[in-house]
Structure 1
Amino acid sequence: MSDTGIRPMSTADLPAAMVLEHELFGDESWTEGMLREELAAMPGTRHYIVLEENGSVVGYAGLAAVGGDGDVQTIGVSAASQGRGLGAALLTELLAEAVRRGCRRVFLEVRADNEPAQRLYERFGFVRIGVRKRYYQPSGVDAIMMRRDEP
């Protein structure tokens, strides 16, 4: 049985988060500086979390929340840990934080070629609202824009 938990991300988590970032997103990874800037905005307009399993960071996620709208900035689970509901656990926590912050809508972009992530978001009530052509660079993959309205 594993010991799994979600907690706020700190700058001490940056090395582990960057390993996952490069594993999951390759050439389209955020830089450490970008993630550091996001963490500097906590708790103001940002909420970043990590998911630990047996003492190791196996996932992370972030939410921006401003003016009644939330935006899922990033969400990722190590390839070895995928398929066990950990992404859903991270998303559940982001959506709970969006509610705590009074967000009426939550937006996100997801790669058009990432069908498992699209299915996850649809299960959580997100609907497709548009496409951003060639959004992801350097691959040029389109982004599906999605929105979830809070009750």
Structure 2
Amino acid sequence: MTIREMQLDDLEQVLPIEESNFSVPWTANGFFSFLIREDVHLLVAEENGQVLGYCGAILTPPESDITNICVRMDSRRRGIAVELFSKLKNDLLSKNITTIHLEVRESNQAALQLYKKLGFVQDGLRPRYYEVPVEDAVLMSWRYQ
């Protein structure tokens, strides 16, 4: 498996993954607008020409906000999300980012467990942050020690 920067050509494979994982998925235009921004860092995990997952962050040094970490349903439980975050974290540290924030649905126990395993701590709740369905967001942060 290779982890590399996301390219425009990857959207053909990224969009179906996004659509199968989120009730309000990003559109092609949404991804495109982030791909052309200099303050956004997007990665894909690829194996044999197939995108297995992706992640990204918006950079506001010395902090950043994760946009998403997402893995194809048929490729989960292989450590891909951990590998994606590890590469993302190292890339961000090289850009003087020392704090990484994210929001996650309160009901997404698998993601909450993953983020805790990766060293994120809960900072608070953002009521009614998500739509379809309406749900609170758990706010979490990772800080370089």
TM-score bracket, normalised by the shorter chain, equals over 0.9
Cα offset for 1:104?
2.0
Match of 2:64 in 1: 70
1:20-67 CA-partner distances (Å, limit 9, x unpaired): 000111x311111111111011xx211101111221111011011113
Give the fraction of aligned pairs with identical amino acids, expressed as a percent.
Answer: 32
Select 2:101's aligned residue among 104, 107, 116. Answer: 107
> Take 2:15 and 2:130, find their aligned partners in 1: how far apart are those partners?
18
Counterpart position of 1:134: 128
TM-score normalised to structure 2 length? 0.95
The amino acid of 2:19's aligned partner reads: H
Distance 1:137 1:79 in 2: 22
Q: Offset of 1:131 from its aligned partner?
A: 0.8
Name the aligned partner's letter for residue 86 of structure 2: T
Q: Indicate which of 114, 121, 125 corresponds to 1:120.
A: 114
Aligned residues: 145
Please state whether the residue corresponding to 2:10 is helix, strand or coil: helix
Deviation per CA, 1:71-104: give whole Å up to 9, x if none: 1111100010001100111111111112011112
Give the unaligned 5+ runs of structure 2.
Answer: none
Q: Are 1:45 and 2:39 an aligned pair?
A: yes
Give runs of aligned pairs for residues 7-26 of structure 1, distance below 5 A: 7-25=4-22
Give the Cα separation in 2 of the matches to 1:105 and 1:64. 12
- Give the TM-score of the pair, scaled to structure 1: 0.92
Structure 2 residue identity aligned to 1:6: I
User: What SS does the corresponding residue of 2:90 show, helix, strand or coil?
Assistant: helix
Residue 97 of structure 1 is matched in structure 2 by 91
The answer on 1:85 being equivalent to 2:82 is no
Amino acid in the other structure paired with 2:76:
Q
For the pair 1:33 / 2:29, whether they are aligned, the reply is yes
